[in-house]
């Protein structure tokens, strides 16, 4: 009888565990390589110490909780295209949609900096 109650409780908890995993997967949609690229660039800008490594890793983790990976890559693409310059890249400098993408990334970075640095 006790076994049946325990088994029932475990089975009843399965959908909740599945939902929790789904949320975790949504919050961890950044590929490892993207996180590593961010940490390497962050360390290049802030120093090559163990403390900086931990702060930079914290920073990308915070950004990942705020901004979906797709939005992150779109904003990074806009920033990359702005560095290219030229007439063809003007849309990346003047587009409202591009500005909004970059603004969202900047806000996420600012929040991560407050928390991690």
pLDDT digits (tens, 9 = 90+) for 82-108: 888 777 777 777 889 999 999 999 999
Q: How would you label 81-90 residue by residue, b for 16+ Cβ within 10 Å and e otherwise?
A: beeeeeeeee
Contact 63, 29 (CB under 8 A): no
Q: Give the pLDDT band of residue 78 (cuts 50, 70, 90).
A: very high
At residue 19, the pLDDT reads: 52
Q: Answer whether 0.95 is exceeded by the pTM.
A: no
Q: Which of 51, 64, 70, 71 is nearest to 109 (CA)?
A: 64
Domain chopping of the chain, boundaries: 1-28, 31-116
At residue 5, the pLDDT reads: 44
Q: Which of 85, 78, 47, 43 is nearest to 60 (CA)?
A: 43
CA angle, residues 74, 75, 78, in degrees to nearest 5:
90
At residue 88, the pLDDT reads: 75
- Residue 47, phi-psi category: left (phi > 0), alpha (psi -120 to 50), beta (remainder): left
Taking only the tens place, the pLDDT of each residue in 52-70 is 999 999 999 999 999 999 9
Question: Within the chain, what is the greatest distance between any pair of CA atoms?
Answer: 76
Taking only the tens place, the pLDDT of each residue in 17-55 is 445 555 555 657 999 999 999 999 999 999 999 999 999
Q: Give the pLDDT band of residue 1 (cuts 50, 70, 90).
A: very low
What does the DSSP 8-state code read for residue 17?
A: H
């Amino acid at each position: 009888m006790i076994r049946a109650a325990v088994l029932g409780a475990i089975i009843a908890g399965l959908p909740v565990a599945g939902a929790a995993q789904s949320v975790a997967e949504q919050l961890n949609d950044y590929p490892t390589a993207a996180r590593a690229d961010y940490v390497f660039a962050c360390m290049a800008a802030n120093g090559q110490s163990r403390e900086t490594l931990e702060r930079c890793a914290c920073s990308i983790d915070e950004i990942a909780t705020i901004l979906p990976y797709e939005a992150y890559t779109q904003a990074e693409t806009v920033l990359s295209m702005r560095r290219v310059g030229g007439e063809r890249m003007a849309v990346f400098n003047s587009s409202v949609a591009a500005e909004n993408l970059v603004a969202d990334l900047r806000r996420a970075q600012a929040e991560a900096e407050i928390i991690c640095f």
